[in-house]
């Protein structure tokens, strides 16, 4: 799953919780969640809280989608 966060200006703990529980569910089934197009502010908050260590982030939606393709090829 790729989440394009381009239009996101704020994220609360509830939003972070949704990302975490979604990642948890997807990983059980060998899937994953990738975040794309994060603003500097949102990336900063995620980084501060340590979320960038457990959730992959990409500069663009295309890069995020390609990361799945590369995983399948590997």
Partner 1 sequence: MIACKGTRINLTIPVDKFFLGVVRSIVIELAEQCGFMDMEAGKIEMAVDEACANVIEHSYHITGRPQFPKGKEKNITIHIFYNEKKMAVEIEDKGERFDYTKYEQVSLKKHLKNMNARGLGLCIIHSFMDKVEYITDSEGCNHLTMIKFIEDRKQEAEKQRSRD
Assess contact for 54 and 40: CB atoms under 8 A. Answer: no
Q: Does 44 bind partner 1 (CB under 8 A)?
A: yes
Q: How far is the CB of 23 from partner 1 (least distance, A)?
A: 6
Closer to partner 1 by Cβ: residue 16 or 61 = 16
The string of DSSP codes covering 13-70 is: HHHHHHHHHHHHHHHHTT---EEES--HHHHHHHHHTTGGGTSEEESSHHHHHHHHHH
Q: How far is the CB of 43 from partner 1 (least distance, A)?
A: 11
Spell out, one character per residue from 5 to 34, where the chain touches partner 1: x when CB under 8 A holds, - when not: -----x-xxx-xxx-xx-xx----------
């Amino acid at each position: 799953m790729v989440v394009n966060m381009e239009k996101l200006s704020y994220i609360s703990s509830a939003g972070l919780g949704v990302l975490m529980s979604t990642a948890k569910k997807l990983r059980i089934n060998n899937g994953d969640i990738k975040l794309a197009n994060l603003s500097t502010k949102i990336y900063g908050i995620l980084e501060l809280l340590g979320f960038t260590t457990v959730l992959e982030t990409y500069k663009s939606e295309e890069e995020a989608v390609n990361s799945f393709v590369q995983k399948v090829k590997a």
